[in-house]
Amino acid sequence: MANDKISLNALIEEAEAAKLSLNAYLLPQSAAELEITEEELLAKMAQMLKVMEEAAAYGLTGVRSHSGLTGGSALKLQNAAAQPGFNKLLGALATDAVTYAIAVSECNAAMGRIVAAPTAGAAGVLPGVLLALKKHCNLTEEQLARALVVAGQIGLVIAARASLAGAVGGCQAECGSAAAMAAGAAVDALGGTPAQAGTAVSIVFKNMLGLVCDPVAGLVEVPCIKRNGGAAVQALLAAEMALAGIGSFIPADEAIDAMKWVGDSMPCALRETAGGGLAQTPTALAWAKAWFERE
Ligand code: SF4
């Protein structure tokens, strides 16, 4: 599974050698590649963050999807979490991350505007994590914009070495990649080292490897919306372990390559065709039949 395409490990080693954070190392490179200034790149990232915030706010209005299959879950979770007697089993930050992730996914299912980070189906994960960090860790807009630069570079490496599409690599390539991007960004935003960011990426793929793509009726709703919430928690879990100094036996590049290998091995039925998994359960098939007849 050797792969000589662009390497996250190499970027990490270069940043460590330069004694820079990952965002400080990547920002000038990314700006140069896009032929814009660093300030312009950060402004673009800040604009994306604004769209993410608006998407979460729209989702939290309780919006429902066009099909009627999903909607209202983010608002339900937010309302429940605001009750004094509600047990936040995950803790306040993680509960908020799940809420925002689901809210953005519900916005997507309702045809609202989202940032495909890296795809529409997985658009909730990165905002879920970043907006929760903003609220609970008092991160500035610039810190978040820089974290998005890191997330973007991680996504580029995954796209080059493997895939970001559920139709190619299953949901591990969509929600898994989004979680890896969010985990690396979170580590960097919270002051972790480049090596720790790489560890977080690797931990995410270890925990999400093999996740199939099985949307009910081919709609990006079930299980996609709740999976965004789950992936946000996976990202936080990986970031926390990495920040605690826990290492990863498998380096990030190799974990990404393993994700590609698993994706290539998946049958078509589990790659966005709605031909397997949850999409083929009796409940899903009955709903899909009724919906297709209605439409
Ligand atoms: S299940 Fe498939 S369509 Fe849904 S988020 Fe995952 S990869 Fe995307």
pLDDT in tens, 9-58: 999 999 999 999 999 999 999 999 999 999 999 999 999 999 999 999 99
**Test site for ligand 1: of 272, 273, 281, most ligand atoms within 8 A of the Cβ:** 272
User: pLDDT for 101-143, tens place per residue?
Assistant: 999 999 999 999 999 999 999 999 999 999 999 999 999 999 9
Q: Ligand 1 atom 4: the closest Cα is on which residue?
A: 224
Distance between Cα 216 and ligand 1 center (Å): 10
Indicate which CATH number applies to the domain containing 35.
1.10.4100
**Test site for ligand 1: of 220, 259, 273, 280, most ligand atoms within 8 A of the Cβ:** 220
Confidence of residue 156 (pLDDT cuts 50, 70, 90): very high
Residue 6 within any structural domain of the chain: no
**pTM of the full predicted structure?**
0.97
Q: Ligand 1 atom 6: the closest Cα is on which residue?
A: 171
89-99 mean pLDDT: 98
Task: Give me the pLDDT at residue 128, please.
Answer: 98
196-202 mean pLDDT: 98
Alpha helices in the chain (DSSP H): 8-17, 22-34, 38-59, 73-82, 92-109, 125-137, 141-161, 166-169, 171-189, 194-208, 224-243, 252-265, 282-294
**3, pLDDT greater than 70:** no
The tokens 């009726």 sit on which residue? 217
Task: Give me the pLDDT at residue 295, please.
Answer: 86
192-211 mean pLDDT: 98
Task: Give me the pLDDT at residue 238, please.
Answer: 98
Task: Give me the pLDDT at residue 155, please.
Answer: 98
**1, pLDDT greater than 60:** no
- What is the residue range of 108's domain? 22-294
Confidence of residue 2 (pLDDT cuts 50, 70, 90): low
**Total structural domains in the chain?**
1
Distance between Cα 28 and ligand 1 center (Å): 33
**5, pLDDT greater than 90:** no
In contact, 115 and 131? CB cutoff 8 Å:
no
Residue 16 within any structural domain of the chain: no
Measured from the Cα of 122, ligand 1's closest atom is: 5
Residue 17 within any structural domain of the chain: no
**248, pLDDT greater than 60:** yes
Q: How far apart are CA 225 and CA 125, in angstroms?
A: 10
In contact, 157 and 170? CB cutoff 8 Å:
no
**Test site for ligand 1: of 175, 209, 221, 266, most ligand atoms within 8 A of the Cβ:** 175
Residue 1 within any structural domain of the chain: no
Residue 7 within any structural domain of the chain: no
Residue 9 within any structural domain of the chain: no
**235, pLDDT greater than 90:** yes
Residue 37 within any structural domain of the chain: yes
- Dihedral of the alpha carbons of 1, 233, 53, 21, in degrees to the nearest 10: -60
Q: Is 227 in the pocket of ligand 1 (CB under 6 A)?
A: yes
What the block records as the tokens of 198 is 């790489």
209-224 mean pLDDT: 98
Residue 8 within any structural domain of the chain: no
Q: Is 171 in the pocket of ligand 1 (CB under 6 A)?
A: yes
Task: Give me the pLDDT at residue 184, please.
Answer: 98
Distance between Cα 272 and ligand 1 center (Å): 7
Task: Give me the pLDDT at residue 4, please.
Answer: 65
209-226 mean pLDDT: 98
Q: How far apart are CA 175 and CA 263, in angstroms?
A: 13
